[in-house]
A and B are shown apart, each in its own frame.
Chain A
Amino acid sequence: MADVDLGGDSGHGKKGPGVKKAKKLSTRVDLTPMVDLGFLLLTFFVFSSTLSQPAAIHLTMPDDRKDDLQDQNQAKASGALTIILGKDNSVFYYEGEPSATGANWKESSLSDIRSEIVKKKQSTPADDFVVVIMPGDSSTYSDVVSILDEMKISLVDRYALVNIDEATAKLLASKGK
């Protein structure tokens, strides 16, 4: 290993016991701990510099103040997938038209919804496919961001963050979420 080289071991005994030879002291210093320290600090700075750069999701909201129906792009109900977010990270979804009783609601979870989105995406023509996201009042910000992220992950181009309507909110409440 990188030890200090004392260098004096072989100097004895050549000129007899009476002659004292000045010990040759090596100037070499063991740099191993210094290298250790260097790399320790290095790892710290490498990690802290890359992790401190937060990313951002770009979100564009539609202008929904006008109630002029002729101006609006009506989504075809058959191509719509509505995702409802409830309490405790619960996720419900339904395809197509909303039903008054919630009969077409299916329960899912944040980790399983991806396959449903992909399934719906592949079974609908690209022009009709739209995802409607309805976060309930007790859903959290992280749920909303996760779902927006799912849109990115599954390359959904058309999605809308919509305020939950009263009927849906009641259905969600009746399911205990």
Chain B
Amino acid sequence: MLKIYFGDLDNVLHNVETYFNNQYQYAWLDDEFVKEVINDVDKSIVQSPECILSPVLRQIPPTKLSGGTKAVILMKYVPERIINASNCGNNCAKWILKLGEDKDITINLHHIMEFDADSFEIEVLNSNFIVHNMKELVNTAVDFL
């Protein structure tokens, strides 16, 4: 399940860019989920684990992916860390939800992310409520931001 803590929290991984740039593994870029995220968010194609084809930046290494994509990849491969998902735009939200369908992941948010789905299950750790849609999420989140 996806779990969210809104607001300040200790031991959160905030510096997603630098952490990813220094810790990513080539095998991560060979994963189908990761390739889909890169294709959808960065509009780019993984040609090989070392080379990604971006329509704007041309051929780039994984270190040049967007901060949001890096954050999602870290959520998958470093689930023991709580990632600051305010590095992610709304276009990453569906991928974060998808990750939460397969396993427990906890993220930290300092803004209200729009999860564009009719229904979902997200646990808001500040209150231990489980919310099922954006209406419930917004009503809960505003108390903690």
Do A and B originate from a single complex?
no
Residues of B in contact with A (beta carbons under 8 Å apart): none
